[in-house]
Amino acid sequence: MKVVLIVCDGLGDRPTRALGGLTPLQAAEAEVLDKVASKGVCGIMDVVAPGQPPGSDTAHLSLFGYDPWKVYSGRGAYEALGVGLNLKPGDVAFRCNFATLGGDGVIVDRRAGRISSEEAKVLSEALKDIRIESVPGVEAMFVPSVEHRGVLILRGEGLSRKVSDIDPHKTGVRPGVPRPLDDSREAERTAKALSEFLEKAWKRLAEHPLNRKRVEEGRPPANAILPRGAGTLPNIPSVGERWGVRAAAIAGGALYKGVARAAGFEVLNVRGATGTVNTDLNAKVEAAISALKDHDLVFLHIKATDTASHDKKPELKKTIIERISRAVSPLVEHVESMGYYLAFTGDHTTPSEVGEHRGDPVPIMIMGPGVRSDDVDRFDEVSCARGGLGRIRGMDLMRILMDYLGRVPLFGE
């Protein structure tokens, strides 16, 4: 027995004016999704907790069966795992942006004019041999990922993720100063090491020939990196250890790949899976079908629904849902013909009139042999609330799926 879990990011929504009071899911003509709803069992799900807006990282920890309140240890680690870095226990990882500081030290551009990956790589070379002298036994590594993004890792004994963000998330202000967020010696050491690294890195970047050239050409210099979201590896058993399944993940964005890697999924690289609106959905669906050959649990992540929501475009979100419905058709057929299970849901609600994550539950449906099909035949937030699953918690979903697979041991005798 096998199961495919499809998660559309930020899928849940609220009634929107642009769609005559309907949610994008209600307005969408999503024939394949409705077919799954009518064959399967439906419900709504509080991914982290009722009324709690989840980040995509805590939401996915929940969906993979962990209690995020207990195991979440910052975003940076997932970002690092997601770009393919290997973290050691105790490493502190930060997400970083290349940014432009003006002459007065104020942030002019948080993305350094969306610097290209090639140029970011050249600049990163200059940061390779920076040594931390003020804190003994600590090394710093900066690795660029895509465009202006990168990851900084501090490695050594006695570090902590309890340090403040340097990136203030806005322009026109100075970057933050590294501060310990608790009274521990570890947080203090980490803040000190981070300070020294940044001071040296910004100096080298400011003097770099490539940045001089960018200035001459009237382009913003990438003269700073701004770390945020300090995180350490979560201490969690893999889904393999926990349920005895072989698990594969198909996702575009680094964060999703990172959470999946932390949970012991094998992350498959799919050409065209970019995590953007233009991502090649068909290629991801094909990859999911072929991953089912040698995996028991296949996780397929689709980002575009959340992007449209953040951009406050309900009509685009509706169109994307319709596109997803058509694209998953071969996967739905495959799952049915093989007698496998399919679960389809979102990781949180991102109302497309609000443009931010909110705490409303998301719709969920599960199709497969023996599920108690209910009378819901439309896949949307309102119809699913009448379904047989009722209202479940995100962290219970994996157990529910694994029970269909016969992988959950009896409790008691």
Q: How far is the CB of 314 from Zn ion (least distance, A)?
A: 15
Count, residues near Zn ion per rule CB under 5 A: 5
- Under the binding rule (CB under 5 A), the answer on residue 9 touching Zn ion is yes
- Under the binding rule (CB under 5 A), the answer on residue 360 touching Zn ion is no
Closer of 197 and 256 to Zn ion (Cβ): 256
Cα–Cα nearest to 155, from 76, 99, 219: 76
Q: If you search the block for the tokens 């990136």, which residue do you land on?
A: 167
Q: How far is the CB of 306 from Zn ion (least distance, A)?
A: 4
Enumerate the β-bridge partners of residue 396: none
Residue nearest to Zn ion (CB): 56
Q: How far is the CB of 398 from Zn ion (least distance, A)?
A: 17
Q: How far is the CB of 60 from Zn ion (least distance, A)?
A: 8
Q: How far is the CB of 59 from Zn ion (least distance, A)?
A: 6
Closer of 57 and 167 to Zn ion (Cβ): 57
- Taken in order 175, 222, 189, 165, the sign of the CA dihedral is positive
Query: Which window, 1-9, 76-84, 240-248, 273-281, contacts Zn ion (CB under 5 A)?
Result: 1-9
Site string for Zn ion, 278-317 (x = CB under 5 A): ----------------------------x-----------
Closer of 47 and 141 to Zn ion (Cβ): 47
Q: What angle do CA 135, 137, 142 make, to 5 degrees?
A: 85
Is residue 233 within 8 A of residue 87, CB to CB? The reply is: yes
Closer of 63 and 194 to Zn ion (Cβ): 63
Closer of 33 and 259 to Zn ion (Cβ): 259
Residue 71 per-residue DSSP state:
H
Closer of 57 and 196 to Zn ion (Cβ): 57
Query: Which window, 4-12, 22-30, 32-40, 374-382, contacts Zn ion (CB under 5 A)?
Result: 4-12
Quote the CA–CA distance of 102 and 295 in Å, as a whole number: 51
- Under the binding rule (CB under 5 A), the answer on residue 165 touching Zn ion is no
Q: How far is the CB of 348 from Zn ion (least distance, A)?
A: 5
Site string for Zn ion, 338-357 (x = CB under 5 A): ---------x----------
Closer of 150 and 394 to Zn ion (Cβ): 394
Q: How far is the CB of 130 from Zn ion (least distance, A)?
A: 33
Site string for Zn ion, 30-69 (x = CB under 5 A): --------------------------x-------------
Q: How far is the CB of 191 from Zn ion (least distance, A)?
A: 29
Q: How far is the CB of 339 from Zn ion (least distance, A)?
A: 31
Distances (CA, A) of 282 to 110, 166, 204, 351, 352: 33, 39, 44, 26, 25
Interface residues with Zn ion (CB under 5 A)? Answer: 9-10, 56, 306, 347
